[in-house]
Amino acid sequence: MRVYFVRHGETDYDVVAARGVRGWATSFAPLSPLGRLQIDTIARDYRLQEADVIVCSSYARALESAALLSRTLNKPLYVEYDLHEWLPQKDPLGEIDGELLQRATDELRPGDAVADAPWESVEEVRARVLRVLARYRGFERLVVVTHAVVIQCVLGMQRAIDHAEIVPYDLDETVPAPAAPAAPVRH
Q: What angle do CA 154, 142, 76 make, to 5 degrees?
A: 130
pLDDT (tens digit per residue) in 16-59: 989 988 777 888 899 999 999 999 999 999 999 999 999 999 99
50-54, 135-139, 163-167, 172-176: the lowest-pLDDT one: 172-176
Cβ neighbours around 12 below 10 Å, total: 19
Q: Is residue 60 part of a domain?
A: yes
Mean pLDDT of 89-94: 62
User: Domain span at residue 100?
Assistant: 2-163
| CA dihedral sign of residues 183, 164, 63, 83 | positive
Distance CA 85, CA 81 (A): 10
106-110, 145-149, 153-157: the lowest-pLDDT one: 106-110
Distance CA 99, CA 167 (A): 31
Q: Is residue 81 part of a domain?
A: yes
Longest dimension (CA), the chain: 49
Q: Is residue 179 part of a domain?
A: no
The alpha carbon of residue 170 and the mean position of all alpha carbons in its chain are separated, in whole angstroms, by: 17
Distance CA 121, CA 89 (A): 10
What's 30's domain CATH number? 3.40.50.1240
pLDDT (tens digit per residue) in 40-51: 999 999 999 999
Q: Which residues pair with 170 in a beta bridge?
A: 2
Report how many domains make up the chain: 1
Q: Is residue 96 part of a domain?
A: yes
- Residue 138, φ and ψ in degrees, nearest 5: -75, -10
Q: Is residue 185 part of a domain?
A: no
